[in-house]
Amino acid sequence: METKKVWFITGASKGLGLALVKKLLEKNYRVVATSRNSQSLISEIGETSENFLPLEVNLTDNEDVKAAISKSIDHFGRLDVIVNNAGYGQIGTLEELTDKEARANFDINVFGTLNVIRNAMPHLREQRSGHIFNISSIGGYSGNFPGWGIYCSTKFAVAGLTEALAEEIKDFGVKATVVYPGYFRTDFLSKDSIKTPENVIQEYETARNSEQSHLDEINGNQPNDPGKGAEALIAISEEQNPPVHFLLGSGTSDFLDNKIKIITDDAEKWENLTLSTVI
């Protein structure tokens, strides 16, 4: 009988992360689930078992992440799939957000991801197999959302580091995929899950309108089902040659097409100036 893979998932207490944990356990995979509060995981899923290990982890603390990876391997003997899902949305224009607010968003969304990669890769490299999923956002491909600049920039960073990671680790038989989810029916846009700026500048009317439409209109009406999103990720994990870039959910291809058109149009319009730099 084939032994099921061991998954390590951050940000697993809610949203897409929680949906993924539940789907995996239904399919008899073995799962390490991390959160800032392990009790939230136990309340949703249950206590530690032969297939489930809930861990309380501070992703911004490299030593804490290192310890979590060690505990996971001690419990299951190996790791096969890493899902860097933890993150939060920070609303606010670039002028409004303080240095502290901006850095805090990068600390979780980017540097927390790097801490996991840094500590998981020695094990994946040694066993010559594995798959790392880094959860970005469609806002990590198309950043033209006023009031979401810092959040989008963290997700652009996740996409960029995943592209490099995929090239760095392929010789070890390890895969990397950046996932761009669209709008999923999770609590990501709820007031308890998203941060707003401490110092609001009312003159930014376009940003305020964008923020309010997300919080009041889009929230709760997202078209995509997180359970089906989880099933898609599981299917990708079983592919021999998985994609480096994976658009997840309806509506994401529209952002892809629009971004390609914008860049292509700009490149064609300004080609003469571009080529004028040639001696």
Task: Choose from 58-62, 210-214, 215-219 the range with maximum mean pLDDT.
Answer: 58-62
Residue 175 has what pLDDT? 98
pLDDT band at 80 (very low <50, low <70, confident <90, very high): very high
Residue 189 has what pLDDT? 53
Residue 223 has what pLDDT? 52
List the 6-9 sheet strands across, edge first. 52-56, 30-35, 6-9, 81-84, 130-135, 174-181, 245-248
Q: What is the pLDDT of residues 233-246, one digit of tens each?
A: 999 999 999 999 99
For the cut 70, the answer to whether the pLDDT of residue 220 exceeds it is no
Tokens of 207: 């940003």
d(CA 39, CA 214): 30
Q: Rounded mean pLDDT of the chain?
A: 91
Mean pLDDT (whole number) for 175-203: 79
For the cut 80, the answer to whether the pLDDT of residue 190 exceeds it is no
Residue 140 has what pLDDT? 92
Hey, which residues are catalytic here? 151
For the cut 80, the answer to whether the pLDDT of residue 250 exceeds it is no
Mean pLDDT (whole number) for 7-22: 93
Residue 216 has what pLDDT? 67
For the cut 90, the answer to whether the pLDDT of residue 49 exceeds it is yes
pLDDT band at 2 (very low <50, low <70, confident <90, very high): low
For the cut 80, the answer to whether the pLDDT of residue 1 exceeds it is no
Residue 213 has what pLDDT? 74
Q: What is the pLDDT of residues 83-96, one digit of tens each?
A: 999 999 999 999 99
Give the C-alpha distances (Å, rounded to integers) separating 15 from 61, 96, 136, 185.
Answer: 23, 28, 14, 8
d(CA 83, CA 189): 21
Strands 194-195 and 130-135: unpaired
Residue 191 has what pLDDT? 59
Residue 275 has what pLDDT? 87
Give the C-alpha distances (Å, rounded to integers) separating 50 from 3, 25, 53.
Answer: 13, 11, 8
Whether 222 and 183 have beta carbons less than 8 Å apart is answered as: yes
